[in-house]
Structure 1
Amino acid sequence: MDEKINKVILNLQRNNMAGYFVENKEDLIQLIASLIKKGEKVGCGDSVTLEETGVFEFMRGGDFVFYDKHQKGLTPEEKREIYLKNFDADTFLTGTNAITLDGKLFNIDGNGSRVAPMLYGPKQIIVVAGINKLTDTVEDAINRTRQVAAPLDAKRLNKDTPCTKLDRCIDCRHEQRICNDFVLITGQFVKDRIKVILINQEYGF
């Protein structure tokens, strides 16, 4: 695994993205705190990993302007306002569905509110991922996301899609389908705009 992680980090760097490796969530929080300045505007994507590792809790208690889309009682209009603010954030925090050995990030999104800021807008993107998100190839990344992550996420979101019953993707056309935007990030114009932090544990789907 050490050799695999070293290879991923090296290839991220070759693709103009920064790669980091931490042992646990305590080290993760310490690293994130060093990468975000006090008073910065911080947005976030929907992420089980960020919830499980305590990143959201840290942001809520820190000295940041945190665009928290997980506040209770938000209307669809209020959520949309937060989504738009994310484009002007200093930092955008998110998980990812898969990271390939050659340093590429693959994600599937429902409405684009997570992947769109990863592509453009925020000055800095911090991606947090457990080692369970590592895949050998792009094909493996797509398969993992569609057949493992998406059905579990659809269940979490209480969707009525076929995958929640079959535990696998059948490429449905259900009105509640969450697999709408397939995005592969292979590199960056701005060096180290995207920073990927790998944790030596399994988190998220």
Structure 2
Amino acid sequence: MTFLVNHIILVALWALFGLFHSILAANWWKRLMQQLLVANYKYYSFSYSIFAAVTLVAVLMYQVFLHSHLLYQAPVWVKLFLCLPLLVGIFIMGALIKKYFFSLSGISVFYKMQPPPELVLSGLNRYVRHPLYFGTLLFLWSLFFIYPYVKNLLACVIITLYTVWGARLEEKKLVAQFGEKYTAYKKRVPMLLPRL
């Protein structure tokens, strides 16, 4: 019974993390915060990034230390083979976080120059509209197949569902922000999985 309850808690924690992320990133919430915080609103993105990082670490720590059952024993050659997509996922995430760190983290508020947002269509964006999400999912699913525990499967399913839903919400904002340019981009480039 404890096993089931602990895994339900894990699912609830990932779902709450996604829910808070969506609410705190939603335009209606940002407008409300802008009205409430007035001049201090410029620190909102940075504060949100700190909150997101702390809550992400908390959920991950719960998952790492949660006792779970192994679904199957992966052969060593499978684990070694899956290290390649896992490393590619880590590389994609690292490169994109490094590239967009100032705009994603909100730390740019502490610098005078803040370039206006632009639609990036080069690099990995030529193959997939959300390369950071693609890299994250590639990493997570590779990790699950290397360590096929129930807890990792649950996390992968919840995070994948949230990522697809979150990408669709984000695309509504991008269409509103960039108009026909983004709509045309959507028609020719897949959302999460690059065409082979």
Q: TM-score, normalised by structure 1?
A: 0.25
Tell me which protein shows more helix as a share of its residues.
2
- Structure number with the higher strand fraction is 1
Larger radius of gyration: 2
TM-score between the two structures when normalised by the length of structure 2? 0.26
